[in-house]
Amino acid sequence: MRAFAYSLVAVLLAGQPAFAAPHCPTQADASMFDVESLKSELMVLATTCHVSTGYNAFIGRYQPELVRYDQQLEEYFKHHYGRNAAREHDAYITALANGQSTTGLRQGTDFCDRNETLFNEVMSLRSPADLPAYAAAKDLMPEDPGACVGPAPPPVKAQAPKRPAAPAKKTS
């Protein structure tokens, strides 16, 4: 499994597309990964662009929600990976940050100017309850660091093909 995690990070760093992420079993799982992706993106911005005050304000305002999402993420990894949960969780967080940093590198010197507005946007949300929808709308998940994305679409009901009408019987 460790080789897989390292391979995944290498793929992300090389900028090659990874396999498609599976759909999350629930909306709560999707929200958890979206918020984690937003938090990571803001951390990358803070570090790269030297704007730690914006990141600190974000953490201060949303701390209770971020703690709750972190706990849910830990439970998700425990459920899916058992005794390897901590290692897989760490690998996911690392792959997420590396993928977002790679995206920033591709944007070059424009990265900070284009993305620092995220701090203002997230701080202007009306309520902490708006955080998951905001995070989902930003689509900040890199190619696939090991997260599920969005809930699965509802199944399409298959309709039985219509039978052709039987010819009318002739009466004599």
Tens digit of each residue's pLDDT (9 = 90 or more) over 28-46? 888 888 999 999 999 999 9
Under the phi-then-psi rule, with left for phi > 0, alpha for psi from -120 to 50, and beta for the rest, what region is 139?
left
Residue 171, pLDDT score = 60
Residue 9, pLDDT score = 39
Structural domain boundaries in the chain: 25-151
Which one is predicted more confidently, 81 or 158? Answer: 81
C-alpha angle 27-68-81 in degrees, rounded to nearest 5 = 70
Q: What is the pTM of this model?
A: 0.70
Q: What is the rounded end-to-end Cα distance, in angstroms, of the chain? A: 78
Question: Of 39, 20, 36, nearest to 119 (Cα)?
Answer: 39
Maximum CA pair distance of the chain?
94
pLDDT by residue (tens digit) across 129-163? 999 999 999 878 766 555 665 554 454 455 555 55
Q: Which two tokens stand for residue 147?
A: 């997260």
Kindly state the average pLDDT of the residues 57-83. 93
Kindly state the average pLDDT of the residues 69-74. 93
